[in-house]
Structure 1
Amino acid sequence: MVRILVVDDHVVVRSGLIMLLHGKNDMQVVGEAAEGDEAVSKAEELHPDVVLMDLSMPHGKDGLTATAELKKRLPDTAILILTMHDDEEYLFRAIHAGASGYILKSAPHEELLTAIRQISGGNAYLSPTATKRLMSDYLDKMKNGEHAGTYESLSDREKEILAKVAQGYSNKEIAEQLIISVKTVESHKSNLMEKLDLRTRPALVKFAMKKGLLNFE
């Protein structure tokens, strides 16, 4: 049974979603909220499996801010953005905030149900329109020579720092070896992890191992 929290500032929309979901034997609506602050509070209280999150809520915290905060407090809760915004800027910001899925309010009911089931199982879901936008953005970057998410996208200095971080050197030790400031090391480290979409040191070490960068000689 997928436990769901519905978040939208329009009562009619919330009621419609709740009616739709109540009719499914594998889903249960455990709560509802009208804005971001209430959503965070209700989620901490109810621990839903999935939060259906609207983006534009003029009163209180907006959906993107609430999504980012929820992922910090309840990392195991999947968040599905349900919005009228068919806009790549909102899409990218939602993914960056930690959303597991992005779907338009104009989507068919069956697509919404599929999205909920997908993200409740630990998968991601993007509407066909969102997927097309992501692919278009990726292809544009490739045409411009930006190999996002690859080792080749790093600068020579970033590659150097990647290897040393993976080998276990501290920021201070790297700074001394390369004769640069600790702040510069931290900046390069942050940039390279963002480019490679890596969030932890173990993930960075694993990536470096695959690239054969762990040479301690």
Structure 2
Amino acid sequence: MKKKVVLLSDSEIVSLGMSAIIGNMPDFVLVERTSSLELAQSAVIHNRAEMLIVEPHIIDYSTRNAVRGVLHNIPSTIGYSLVALMTHYVDRSVLKQFDGYIELSDGAEQIEDVLRQCISGDKPKDLAEPVVGTNAYAMNEDLSEREIEVLVAVAKGLQNKEIAETLNISVHTVMSHRKNIIAKTGIKSIAGLTVYALMNGLIEESAIK
């Protein structure tokens, strides 16, 4: 039986991306996605979900010293894994209260591994290590103008052939630029690159398909 997951995110882009990724997982099913803390708790209770994925910044900062305490509506009889979705910087003292965390630069396989390890009770990553959140998306000055153009096109949802036609270059050149972008930013997923483009003012949210 698939493990039921509830997603708490205030970003439509991130929410849709995570929904698509989880939707392709054989062992997990997303039963609810919401931007409301109250609705997320209700969804965990109603569905008896085994996992709650949450963007930590949604939780009021003054109460972050007891993350599960904020989720007081969920009875202790419901055992669930709490996973942080890293879209903003999160202090290590806060992150340690989660069973694991996902970064937007993680690929689908990495995300699935994190979820499986959390369900099994294992920490998917060493939470004692320094954690990188929003700072991971600081603009890389080494990106060339052409690489930035390709990055923006990727964020807009264009395929390699469409990018090639738009920029009047070959598909092979597009693929080469994309490899360079990944190498320079350290971000492999399209969702992560989209967030990178948004955070650095390279694209407006309205331009994303």
Q: Give the TM-score taking structure 2 as reference length.
A: 0.52
SS at match of 1:44: helix
- Counterpart in the other structure of 1:46: 47
- Counterpart in the other structure of 1:73: 75
CA distance in 1, matches of 2:56, 2:115: 17
Q: CA deviation at 1:86?
A: 4.4
SS at match of 1:73: coil
- Alpha-carbon spacing, 1:68–1:113, altered in 2? closer, same or farther (3 Å): farther
Q: CA deviation at 1:133?
A: 2.2
Q: CA deviation at 1:10?
A: 1.1
Note the alpha carbon deviations across 1:47-102, whole angstroms, 9 max, x for none.
Answer: 11111111123xx8679576433376245100110112344x2x321324xx2112
**Paired residue type of 1:32:** R
Q: CA deviation at 1:109?
A: 2.2
Note the alpha carbon deviations across 1:157-216, whole angstroms, 9 max, x for none.
Answer: xxxxxxxxxxxxxxxxxxxxxxxxxxxxxxxxxxxxxxxxxxxxxxxxxxxxxxxxxxxx
SS at match of 1:76: coil
- Counterpart in the other structure of 1:7: 8
- Counterpart in the other structure of 2:122: 123
Q: CA deviation at 1:117?
A: 0.5
Residues 67 and 94, structure 2, Cα contact 8 Å, conserved in 1 = no
CA distance in 1, matches of 2:54, 2:5: 11
Q: Which structure has the bigger radius of gyration?
A: 1
Q: How does 1:12-161 map to 2 (within 5 A)?
A: 12-57=13-58, 64=64, 67-70=68-71, 73-74=75-76, 76-87=79-90, 89=91, 91-96=92-97, 99-126=98-125, 130-133=127-130
Q: CA deviation at 1:131?
A: 4.4
**Paired residue type of 1:109:** A
Compare relative contact order (CA 8 Å, sep 6+) and give the higher one, 1 or 2.
Answer: 2
**Paired residue type of 1:80:** V
SS at match of 1:56: helix
Q: Give the TM-score taking structure 1 as reference length.
A: 0.50
CA distance in 2, matches of 1:31, 1:17: 12
CA distance in 1, matches of 2:88, 2:46: 29
CA distance in 1, matches of 2:30, 2:55: 16
Residues 86 and 102, structure 2, Cα contact 8 Å, conserved in 1 = yes
What percentage of aligned pairs have identical amino acids?
14
Q: Which stretch of the first structure deviates more once superposed, 35-44 or 6-15?
A: 35-44
CA distance in 1, matches of 2:100, 2:80: 12
SS at match of 1:118: helix
SS at match of 1:3: strand
Q: How does 1:200-215 map to 2 (within 5 A)?
A: none
Residues 4 and 48, structure 1, Cα contact 8 Å, conserved in 2 = yes
Q: CA deviation at 1:115?
A: 0.5
Larger helix percent: 1
* Stretches of structure 2 lacking an aligned partner (at least 5 in a row): 132-209
Q: CA deviation at 1:125?
A: 2.1
User: How many equivalent residue pairs?
Assistant: 126
Residues 37 and 66, structure 1, Cα contact 8 Å, conserved in 2 = no
Give the alignment's Cα RMSD to 1 decimal: 2.7
* Stretches of structure 1 lacking an aligned partner (at least 5 in a row): 135-217
CA distance in 2, matches of 1:31, 1:13: 14
- Alpha-carbon spacing, 1:44–1:66, altered in 2? closer, same or farther (3 Å): farther
